[in-house]
Amino acid sequence: MAGRRRASKHGVVVVCLLLASLVACGGRPTAADTARADVQRVLDRRAAAVLDRDRAAVARTGSANWFKDVSAVPLASWSYKVTAVHRSGSTATADAELRYQVQGYDQAPVTVARTMNLSLDAADQWYVISEKPAKKAPQQLWDQGEVTVVRGKHSMILGVGHSGEKLHSFADLADRAVPAVSDAWGTGWSGHVVVLVPKSLDGMAGLLGSPASSYRGIAAVTTGETGAPAQAPADRIIVNPDAYALLGTLGRQVVLTHETTHVATRADTTAATPLWLSEGFADWVGYRGTGRTPAEAAPELAEAVSAGRVPKALPSDADFGFAGSATGLAQSYESGWMACRMIADRWGETKLDAFYRSVGTHRKRPGAVEEAMADVLDTDLKTFTAEWRQYLRAQLG
């Protein structure tokens, strides 16, 4: 995952250098050692050419067919780190880590695993034949085609297979979402978002490294590390254009505002934060100021409550799994939203924000919600749950 670093073996390398040669550390360098160093040098030149927007220089290191696909993306950095080379005569496969930053948005490099296929050219130099995501690694947007970039006031939209007009519509949504989120949560976050719009549901699944069936009917998701420090790559809001096309104007805005809320709250969302709170809060911000009534915004839950099927407890994390029924998933989101709405109604919006942040300060889940309820809301989970169930009856029954 982006943000994690592998332990290095630099200590061994330093000992070798101090002893003046690889031979002194146990023998001559092998062909694989030499190939790895040679491949690293080629990829270093390739990375520099990408940053310089120099297609001819990219072509001198290997295939440049993909260069047009990434050339529009504003890059602050781009580098490769070779982790292994598997050589077979005049061909080789290299495992590498690609690190890159989108200019103006990423505070630290995004790190992704890549596989490079290479061959030796007539001058006995390594030449990159192809580059692709490593096995089980997610695709990057440019792996799916030529990227078009649209800039908004508070957003950058990267799309494949869509017109500039279509991408500008996403920029408009994102540019309305960012101020709405700041108004609800505060301005102590980056105040901008990166939105990826692949061509289809399959493209979305490729960016997430998961089967398309996992996201059918899901309009958008946000990637990023919970509890991420300030010096972390920017989150990516990834749109499912198939599901998004089925939404009305308000629905599209609610979705983008919901996902933007996840970006804003990421640093305060930790392993202690239950999904009913993180998803419910994002929905609360999304619907805030829209005038939608509980029955309009929570139709599945309203139907259940009207039929006397009032949930007995707040939804668990497992209830938010995409593999379950669409009705059950909708009720889980709506239940979390109603819990956050109740806090805002009874304790005030400031207390809701404080409760969210308080839960996130805990390192582990057990006791986090209970302590935050006691400290911020002056209540306990049993009482809160009983009041929430009554709130559902009053608002949806």
Structural domain contains residue 132: yes
Same domain assignment for residues 230 and 309? no
Which domain does 63 fall in, by range? 31-137
Domain count, the chain: 3
- In the chain, what percentage of residues exceed pLDDT 70? 89
Same domain assignment for residues 376 and 335? yes
Instruction: Please state, as a whole number, how many other Cβ atoms lie within 10 Å of the Cβ of residue 387.
Output: 14
pLDDT digits (tens, 9 = 90+) for 260-273: 999 999 999 999 99
Structural domain contains residue 23: no
Tokens standing for residue 315:
């939804």
Same domain assignment for residues 149 and 214? yes
- What pLDDT, on the 0 to 100 scale, is given for residue 225? 59
- What pLDDT, on the 0 to 100 scale, is given for residue 134? 96
- What pLDDT, on the 0 to 100 scale, is given for residue 190? 92
Structural domain contains residue 20: no
Between 8-12, 128-132, 135-139, 390-394, the lowest mean confidence (pLDDT) is in: 8-12
**47 vs 6: which has the higher pLDDT:** 47
Amino acid at 16: C
Q: Is the pLDDT of residue 96 over 50?
A: yes
- In the chain, what percentage of residues exceed pLDDT 90? 81
- For residues 192 and 203, is the Cβ–Cβ distance under 8 A? no
pLDDT digits (tens, 9 = 90+) for 219-263: 999 987 555 555 566 789 999 999 999 999 999 999 999 999 999
Same domain assignment for residues 125 and 201? no
End-to-end CA distance of the chain: 44
- What pLDDT, on the 0 to 100 scale, is given for residue 279? 97
Confidence label for 2 from pLDDT (cuts 50, 70 and 90): very low
Structural domain contains residue 5: no
- For residues 355 and 373, is the Cβ–Cβ distance under 8 A? yes
What is the CATH number for 85? 3.10.450.50
Same domain assignment for residues 257 and 349? no
* Mean pLDDT score of the chain: 89
- What pLDDT, on the 0 to 100 scale, is given for residue 14? 31
Q: Is the pLDDT of residue 329 over 70?
A: yes
pTM comes to 0.87
Q: Name the phi and psi angles at 351, rounded to 5.
A: -65, -35
Q: How far is CA 228 from the centre of its chain?
A: 12
Same domain assignment for residues 294 and 236? no
Same domain assignment for residues 263 and 281? no
Taking residues 355-364, what's their average pLDDT?
A: 96
Q: Residues 150-160, buried b or exposed e (16+ Cβ, 10 A)?
A: bebebbbbbbb
Amino acid at 281: F
Same domain assignment for residues 280 and 262? no
Same domain assignment for residues 240 and 275? no
- What pLDDT, on the 0 to 100 scale, is given for residue 224? 74
pLDDT digits (tens, 9 = 90+) for 160-180: 999 999 999 999 999 999 999
Q: Which of 107, 7, 101, 103 is nearest to 47 (CA)?
A: 101
Q: Is the pLDDT of residue 131 over 50?
A: yes
